[in-house]
Amino acid sequence: EVQLQESGPGLVKPSQSLSLTCSVTGYSITSNYWGWIRKFPGNKMEWIGHISYSGSTSYNPSLKSRISITRDTSKNQFFLQLNSVTTEDTATYYCARQGWITTTDDYWGQGVMVTVSS
Amino acid sequence: DVVLTQTPVSLLISLGGQASISCRSSQSLVHSNGNTYLHWYLQKPGQSPQLLIYQVSNRFSGIPDRFSGSGSGTDFTLKISRVEPEDLGVYYCLQRTHNPPTFGGGTKLELK
């Protein structure tokens, strides 16, 4: 069974960088697309970006100047780095797999809540 | 970016009743390849979103047939029949036809 687990600090100071790890078991990240999505306080959801089976990336233009998604295939992990964070980046961050058949995010991690505050 | 407008924002339904959620797009979600990449999710309290319906009308693995999706172009609907307690939560539509993917604002389903 595909399982994803996010990890990272729950508190980040403004202007610093947010770094999150998604650890995947039961499926290789050298197949499919692997993405990050966030949910803000309230209900708003935002797609952040993804990394493909080949290592190519695609980012939300609204965040493109600040984000980087990378991977370590030997550990079956992929990563999100978001630079120059502000309080508006406070959200729950999810990693997810995009399925070939479903063409959308079909397996999700449990999410990690990140607060940006001094 | 494509704007998805979900209505209603909240829904009060009795157990065993039927719920209908609308998702309207600011532009057609028909891809140049002919497919429509409109999907539906449910986020139950304290859980991550779970996929219910992909590409308008296909139920994901393990999703009961009480859930059905329909629509085309810019107008889409999720229907839930015989509502059960485990159906409560926030429902989202997501479009992946145009970049970047965008979500609807969510519809909260509560028991009457």
Which pLDDT belongs to residue B112? Answer: 87
Q: Quick one: which H or E segment has residue B39? A: strand B38-43
Cβ contact B60–A102 (<8 Å): yes
Closest CA of chain A from B17, distance in Å: 24
pLDDT digits (tens, 9 = 90+) for A11-55: 999 999 999 999 999 999 999 999 999 999 988 999 999 999 999
| Chain A interface mutation, best of B7, B11, B48, highest count of A Cβ atoms under 10 Å | B48
Which pLDDT belongs to residue B11? Answer: 96
- Give the C-alpha separation, B35 to B30, whole Å: 6
Per residue of chain B (112 residues), give pLDDT as tens: 999 999 999 999 999 999 999 999 999 999 999 999 999 999 999 999 999 999 999 999 999 999 999 999 999 999 999 999 999 999 999 999 999 999 999 999 998 8
- Give the C-alpha separation, B48 to A37, whole Å: 11
Closest alpha carbon within chain B to A64: B100
Which pLDDT belongs to residue B24? Answer: 98
From the number of C-beta atoms within 10 Å of its C-beta (0-12, 13-18, 19+), residue B1 rates as middle
- The maximal CA–CA distance of chain B, rounded, in angstroms, is 42
- The maximal CA–CA distance of chain A, rounded, in angstroms, is 43
Instruction: Give whole-number Cα distances, A61 to A17, A19, A81, B25, B36, in Å.
Output: 18, 19, 15, 20, 22
| Chain B interface mutation, best of A32, A43, A92, highest count of B Cβ atoms under 10 Å | A43
Phi, psi of A32 (to 5 degrees): 75, -175
Cβ contact A45–B106 (<8 Å): yes
Minimal Cβ distance to B103: which of A45, A61, A110: A45
pLDDT digits (tens, 9 = 90+) for A81-110: 999 999 999 999 999 999 999 999 999 999
Chain-centroid distance of CA B12 in Å reads: 16
Closest alpha carbon within chain B to A40: B105
Which pLDDT belongs to residue B27? Answer: 98
| SS3 label, residue B87 | helix
Please report residues of B whose CB lies closer than 8 A to that of A111. 48
